[in-house]
């Protein structure tokens, strides 16, 4: 196709000028009323059918580019006539008439083009059909017919381009459709956002699915032209979404989130397709990873734009911090899960680093988040937006930590070095426990503030809660047999003890302090018992017992 264009570009330019001359003559005839409306349609149909038939007849005698060009020129006139009959105020074909005409003609052209491989004919036909609405403008009441007309031509172009690998067809149809949409918006200046956004979404979905189909048909090759057009399609959708919705002072968060998640899902889909033909022991090449990685990165960037917009609309009570953290946490967990499924350590490491950054972000803003009154109650502990974020952050950290510990065990069994996995798992576990401590502190503070609790001091209650928290850390250290959790529990216990002696007991004595000290003493003794029972000595006892059990077994083997 490109070679033919290079050799005959002057001819193609002349044909384009002739076609545009026909369109402008038709427009002039309409404006000046030279020919009755019905006669204009009849003349257009006759010329279109005659050109298509003449080209087909010449092609049957001897296949040539000239025959295809004549047939394509005739079919372009046919589409121009359909457009005129549908958009002209003098005729205004019914929607059913346009639907039947366009669908029947498009199906016929598609079938003939596929059977005879008439690449030039299809290109000229689609180009002429798409150029027509740029000259013969539809009235505002017929805009939806205009976009159905454009959609039908695009569907044919994408399908034939995907099945026949005619790249120039998808490039041309995409570029001209972008121009049509831009001129439509500028010319009609829509009074509401729904209609232009619907057409934009249809345009995006059509090319998104069509380009994936074209890549799949090309032996699952998702790089190159299709990837480039997909990125342009996303940029076009994102730009117009923001532009349209901002014109009507609406949040563009929803559309941006949809497109972001769509591209992330597409990246995962492409990865699975690309990896499906690979042996289980074979790693994908860098070349194969380009497309899924770019789709995923683009999705994350669009979601970042969505989160930023959401922050401008929900700043009351710090809810933008809650929403932003929740969305990013969802993406991080999704990315980690994808890395787990495809066994990609790099994806898991990136998600864990992102989790750590998100935890720091939440800790720096969580104290500015106010609670929300639900069900007629001032405050419900652990059932508030902020609390749910605390819980989700801690839970995801614990899950990732346990999975990493499992990976470390598998690495050791395989004779590898599991040092990095063990340390990362430990870091996530400690950080998750710190999140739990933050959750408990915030919930206690909110309860005292919401219900104006006066029968017991907030400071005393926080100290008791932190004592319980230290006990939980010791128990977790005993369960996991990881020394660092005991060290963290020790740090919490010491910090709480300092707070008790230098802050909580500095005021006058009261019955509250007596009860408080008894509870604190009991918790401290319980921590000491746990530390002694399952601490270092406990581990040593277990090791000695295990060694004692191995000795008789070894003796029996020697006897044998």
**pLDDT digit string (tens) for 275-287?**
665 544 445 555 5
500 Cβ contact list (under 8 Å, min separation 6): 463, 520
* Overall average pLDDT of the 167-187 stretch: 87
Percent of residues, the chain, with pLDDT higher than 90 = 2
Which segment of 166-175, 188-197, 503-512 scores lowest on mean pLDDT?
A: 503-512
Average pLDDT over residues 450-475: 79
Query: Which percentage of the chain shows pLDDT scores above 70?
Result: 79
Which residues have a Cβ under 8 Å from the Cβ of 176 and sit 6 or more positions away?
127, 130, 131
In angstroms, the Cα distances linking 6 to 9, 54, 125, 263, 388 are: 5, 25, 20, 36, 63
Instruction: Report the chain's terminal Cα–Cα distance, integer Å.
Output: 83
- Which of 127, 118, 16, 107 shows the shortest CA–CA distance to 71? 118
Place of tokens 């003794």: 525
- What is the rounded average pLDDT of the residues 86-93? 70
Q: What pLDDT, on a 0 to 100 scale, did the predictor assign at position 426?
A: 84
Structure tokens of 148?
A: 């159905």
Mean pLDDT score, 222-236: 78
Structure token digits, residue 338: 């994808």
Of the CA atoms within 13 Å of residue 104, those in its CB half-sphere come to: 8
230-267 burial, b if ≥16 CB within 10 A, otherwise e? bebbbebbbebbbebbeeeeeebbebbbbbbbbbbebb
Which residue, among 310, 306, 313, has the nearest Cα to 331 in the 3D structure? 306
Do residues 82 and 101 touch, judged by C-beta distance below 8 A? yes
Which is higher by pLDDT, 252 or 42?
42
556 has a pLDDT exceeding 50: no
pLDDT at 438 over 50: yes
Place 124 in a pLDDT band, splitting at 50, 70 and 90: confident
- Which range has the worst mean pLDDT, 43-52, 313-322, 390-399, 404-413? 313-322
Three-class SS state of 508 = coil
Q: How far apart are CA 538 and CA 320, in angstroms?
A: 47
pLDDT tens sequence across 353-371? 889 999 998 988 888 787 7
Phi, psi of 519 (to 5 degrees): -65, -45
Residue 71 CA to its chain's centroid (Å):
44
Partners of 374 in beta bridges: 377
pTM: 0.58
Contact of 207 with 233, CB cutoff 8 Å: yes
For 419, residues 6+ apart whose C-beta sits below 8 A from its C-beta are: none
d(CA 270, CA 295): 9
- Identify the top-confidence range among 178-182, 236-240, 242-246: 178-182
DSSP type of residue 367: G
- Owner of token pair 């972008």: 178
């Amino acid at each position: 196709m490109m070679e033919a264009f290079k050799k005959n570009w002057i001819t193609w330019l002349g044909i384009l000028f002739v076609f545009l001359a026909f369109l402008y003559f038709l427009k002039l005839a309409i404006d000046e009323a030279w020919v009755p409306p019905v006669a204009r349609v009849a003349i257009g149909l006759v010329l279109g059918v005659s050109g298509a038939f003449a080209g087909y007849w010449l092609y049957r005698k001897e296949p040539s580019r000239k025959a295809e060009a004549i047939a394509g020129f005739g079919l372009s006139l046919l589409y121009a006539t359909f457009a005129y009959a549908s958009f002209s105020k003098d005729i205004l074909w019914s929607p059913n008439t346009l639907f039947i005409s366009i669908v029947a003609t498009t199906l016929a052209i598609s079938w003939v083009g596929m059977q005879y491989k008439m690449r030039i004919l299809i290109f000229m036909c689609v180009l002429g059909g798409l150029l027509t609405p740029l000259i013969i403008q539809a009235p505002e009441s017929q805009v939806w017919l205009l976009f159905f007309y454009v959609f039908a031509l695009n569907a044919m172009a994408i399908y034939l381009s995907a099945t026949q690998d005619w790249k120039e067809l998808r490039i041309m149809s995409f570029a001209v459709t972008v121009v049509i949409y831009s001129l439509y918006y500028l010319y009609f200046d829509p009074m509401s956002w729904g209609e232009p956004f619907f057409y934009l979404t249809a345009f995006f979905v059509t090319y998104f699915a069509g380009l994936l189909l074209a890549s799949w048909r090309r032996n699952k090759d998702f790089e190159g032209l299709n990837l480039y057009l997909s990125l342009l399609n996303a940029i076009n959708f994102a730009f117009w979404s923001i532009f349209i919705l901002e014109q009507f002072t609406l949040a563009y968060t929803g559309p941006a989130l949809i497109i972001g998640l769509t591209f992330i899902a597409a990246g995962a889909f492409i990865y699975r397709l690309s990896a499906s033909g690979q042996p289980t022991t074979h790693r994908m090449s860098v070349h194969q990873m380009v497309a899924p990685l770019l789709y995923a990165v683009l999705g994350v960037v669009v979601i970042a734009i969505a989160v930023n917009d959401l922050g401008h609309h929900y700043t009351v009570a710090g809810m933008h911090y809650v929403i932003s953290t929740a969305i990013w946490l969802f993406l991080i967990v999704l990315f980690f899960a994808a890395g787990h499924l495809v066994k990609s350590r790099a994806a898991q490491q990136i998600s864990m680093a992102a989790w750590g950054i998100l935890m720091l972000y939440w800790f720096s803003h969580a104290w500015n988040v106010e609670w929300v009154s639900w069900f007629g109650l001032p405050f419900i502990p652990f059932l508030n937006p902020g609390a749910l974020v605390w819980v989700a952050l801690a839970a995801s950290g614990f899950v990732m930590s346990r999975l990493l510990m499992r990976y470390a065990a598998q690495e050791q069994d395989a004779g590898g070095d599991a040092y990095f996995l063990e340390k990362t798992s430990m870091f996530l576990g400690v950080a998750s426990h710190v999140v739990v401590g933050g959750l408990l502190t915030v919930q206690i503070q909110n309860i005292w503030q919401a219900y104006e609790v006066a029968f017991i001091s907030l400071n005393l209650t926080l100290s008791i809660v932190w004592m319980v928290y230290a006990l939980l850390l010791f128990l977790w250290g005993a369960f996991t047999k990881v020394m660092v959790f005991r060290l963290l529990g020790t740090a919490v216990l010491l910090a709480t003890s300092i707070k008790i002696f230098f802050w909580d007991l500095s005021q006058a004595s009261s019955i509250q302090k007596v009860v408080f000290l008894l509870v604190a003493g009991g918790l401290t003794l319980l921590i000491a018992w746990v530390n002694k029972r399952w601490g270092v000595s406990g581990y040593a006892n277990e090791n000695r017992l295990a060694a004692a059990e191995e000795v008789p077994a070894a003796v029996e083997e020697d006897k044998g």
